[in-house]
Chains A and B, each alone.
Chain A
Amino acid sequence: MSDKLFDRETMLDLSVNIIPLAIMGFFVVVFIVVAPFGFDPMTSALQFGLLVVPFVLLAILTYFSGVAVAGTQRSAPLYLPGQATVRGAVELEHPGESPPPQSETDPVPPEE
């Protein structure tokens, strides 16, 4: 399921979170390569911890929010946000339904 969920469309949506992750990753590398203030076990551990902890937390949240949003986008009836309970609301097409999906790339995953 994960392979289908994290397709090109979902990864594009998640790029807003991937870019900050890349920035933090970039600075981790920079601070390893360039250390003008030297290395101290305690302080340097904090220094990298302050980058690594948000990195990990953001990566985890990005994954689970991607699963929640992209997953229900494919598996549940889709409406314009805020319209689901409106009388006579028109259901939207699932992502990838137009053009009609190929049988091997059916975007509607089977029920759990």
Chain B
Amino acid sequence: MELTGQLALTVLMGAFLLGVLAWLSRVSQVGVPVPALGGSGYGGGESYVNEEKPAGVIRWLTTVDHKDIGMLYGLYAIIAFAVGGLMVVVMRLELLDAQATLISNSFYNSLLTSHGITMLFLFGTPIIAAFANYFVPLLIGADDMAFPRINAIAFWLLPPGALLIWAGFFPLPEIIPAQTAWTMYAPLSAGAGMGNQANAGVDLFLLGLHLTGVSATMGAINFIATIFTERGEKVSWANLDIFSWTILTQSGLILFAFPLLGSALIMLLFDRNFGTSFFIGEGGPMLWQHLFWFFGHPEVYILVLPPMGIVSYVLPRFAGRRLFGFNFVVYSTLAIGVLSFGVWAHHMFSTGMDPRLRLSFMAVSLAIAIPSAVKVFNWITTLWNGQIRLTTPMLFALGFVSNFIIGGVTGVFLASIPVNLILHDTYYIVGHFHYIVMGAIAFAGFAGLYYWFPLYTGRMYQKTLGKMHFWLSMIGTNITFFAMILLGYGGMPRRYATYLPEFATMHQVATLGAMILLVGQIIFVWNFVQSWLEGPVVDDGDPWDLKESGLYTAEWDWFDRKLQTAVTDGGEPAADSGDE
């Protein structure tokens, strides 16, 4: 009977999605194609932004313009960041005391699962796609992405993906949220045993995750095709900017990693619904872990390489110098890309796998630290004797480097098998990877959002609020996650809603840090929205004075042309994009 209910839900959701698709295709037929050079964020009340682009909601539903799709990705990612952030605020408040007082243990598990998946798949990957969609074509001199419509489809798979992932939190009868943690370890995730994870909510969660994977793969194919085939005549491999290099490498990783996750998810869904036993029988849990981490470790680099690209791109602009050892950074990015597929089982050292295999994974894990460390030295050397301007994007880039060093060094220790066996499944791990995902990846995201804010909004943000955002984020990150590293040294296991009283102080410190982070992010949202609506209009194509130091780049040149075109047209939006 339960199977029938699940089937009915699946069919209903499928019918709904087909309906949306049919409606969209109908709308796009009466709509019009969108040019490469169009508006960027000024909706307007007229029926057309310009003669080739409709205005209002129809514009955003039908657009195939890479810049518009980039904006959609950005909006989506920021909403997901807010949802995932609020989830963890509830969790940290719960962890203020040792007992489960605010929420139940099972609801804590649900929040923990959704927080992880939301931040990695609904915030991390999309915020990178936002920057990549908007800027890669501009930076490489392309008119648009190689496959603009696939680009649009890739984005529009994400909202239903998010709804499915969060479905368990909606007031749907008999549907509960997944409580498997983001790793979805079998046999729990296969619905085996006496728990409640055979619920249809977990199936919806897995299907949603699958959709986001399909979306990422489509996007990756598009970026690879774009960077290989759509580069301008002068943009040789040697002239390709570092951000595009990291997006190319990331897309290669996605191409090999995400289809494997998709296959594993399908196998898991078969185990749950069609009586197979890929992950339930003997060796099944190990098989899941191998498949999952063969995807999961490259996923770490899928998430961190483009932020490294943003920092490598932004940091030199405010140091007044070229990136030191540009080729080092390119080659090390590619090296990380390859080696990231050879380290997956360092997440599994304590599973009882053969010690000879563990040794090999340890060796490659130590080797991959080299290209990462090389980048850090390049950033530091770029700063050396530079004319440093501590603007908000620069502060976030410097914060990235600082946090990445702590997150990276704590990670090198974990590559060592004996240390790993002691620290495995403790808060040390949580502290380590949050230094990377929050301290580094999110910081680079903010660096990019502030750096290009004048370009995609046409306005300037409030600088004092930007700096307040940085300092609260920096202090909050280090208080929260350093406390977690100390908790891990003390032996506090991860993923629990309750704990022994001896851990109370450090948990309270971590919660204090999380609240500081929350205040910082509220300031960010306020600044972001208010400045977008009311900030001073930017009328200079070089708002960061990059020409002075010879570091002016293609996207700002495009912005400058756009401003000039608007002026010569008497303020009317540009209609002719022929020179693009």
Contact = CB atoms under 8 A, between A and B. Distances in A.
A76 B572 CA distance: 39
A16 B332 contact: yes
A31 B325 CA distance: 34
B150 interface: no
B19 interface: no
Contacts of B140: 85
A111 B553 CA distance: 29
A85 B242 CA distance: 15
6 contacts: A13-B328, A40-B356, A53-B342, A62-B331, A82-B241, A85-B232
B355 interface: yes
Contacts of B458: none
Nearest to B361: A50
Nearest to B245: A81
Contact of A24 (B328, B363, B550, B552): B363
B276 interface: no
Nearest 7 A/B pairs, CB to CB: A82-B241, A54-B342, A27-B363, A50-B360, A72-B236, A82-B553, A13-B327
Contacts of B360: 27, 31, 46-48, 50-51
Contacts of B356: 31, 35, 37, 40, 43-44, 46-47
Interface of B: 139-141, 232, 234-243, 313, 322-323, 325-328, 330-332, 334-335, 337-339, 341-342, 354-357, 359-361, 363-364, 366-368, 370-371, 374, 550-555, 557, 561
Contacts of B139: 82
Given A47-B360, A62-B331, A81 B371 contact: no
Nearest to B313: A82
Interface in A39-94: 40, 43-44, 46-48, 50-51, 53-54, 57-58, 61-62, 65-66, 68-73, 76-87, 90
Contacts of B342: 50, 53-54
* Residue among B354, B356, B357 with most chain A CB within 10 A: B356
A65 B241 contact: no
Contacts of B242: 81-82
Given A23-B366, A54-B341, A80-B551, 16 more contacts: A13-B331, A16-B374, A17-B331, A17-B332, A17-B371, A19-B370, A31-B360, A43-B357, A54-B339, A58-B339, A61-B335, A69-B237, A72-B239, A76-B234, A81-B239, A90-B550
Contacts of A76: 234, 236, 238-239
Interface residues on A, range: 35 or more
A14 interface: yes
Chain A contact residues: helix, strand, loop or mixed = helix
Given A13-B331, A17-B331, A72-B237, A84 B551 contact: no
Contacts of A35: 356
B234 A17 contact: no
A20 interface: yes
Nearest to A26: B363
A26 B234 CA distance: 41
Contact of A16 (B322, B331, B561): B331
Given A13-B328, A31-B359, A54-B338, A84 B367 contact: no
A20 B363 contact: no
A20 B371 contact: yes
Contact of A50 (B235, B325, B357): B357
Nearest to B340: A54
Contacts of B555: 82
Interface of A: 13-14, 16-17, 19-20, 23-24, 27, 31, 35, 37, 40, 43-44, 46-48, 50-51, 53-54, 57-58, 61-62, 65-66, 68-73, 76-87, 90
A29 to B, nearest CB: 11
A50 to B, nearest CB: 4
A34 to B, nearest CB: 10
A61 to B, nearest CB: 5
A57 B342 CA distance: 10
B552 A83 contact: yes
A65 B370 contact: no
A14 B330 CA distance: 10
Contact of B370 (A23, A40, A48, A90): A23
Nearest to A64: B334
A13 B333 CA distance: 12
B451 to A, nearest CB: 13
Nearest to B332: A16
B232 A54 contact: no
A24 B554 contact: no
A95 to B, nearest CB: 9
Contacts of A44: 356
A54 B364 contact: yes
B452 to A, nearest CB: 13
A86 B552 contact: yes
A53 B360 CA distance: 11
Nearest to B138: A85
Contact of A80 (B236, B322, B327, B370): B322
B538 to A, nearest CB: 18
Contacts of B552: 83, 86
Nearest to A21: B367
B335 A16 contact: yes
A14 B555 CA distance: 29
Nearest to A59: B338
Nearest to B135: A82
B496 to A, nearest CB: 33
Contacts of A23: 363, 366-367, 370
A53 to B, nearest CB: 7
Contacts of A54: 338-339, 341-342, 364
Contact of B367 (A24, A57, A85): A24
A72 B357 contact: no
Given A54-B339, A72-B238, A47 B357 contact: yes
B243 to A, nearest CB: 8
A87 B559 CA distance: 12
A20 B339 contact: yes
* Residue among B234, B327, B334 with most chain A CB within 10 A: B327
Contacts of A14: 331
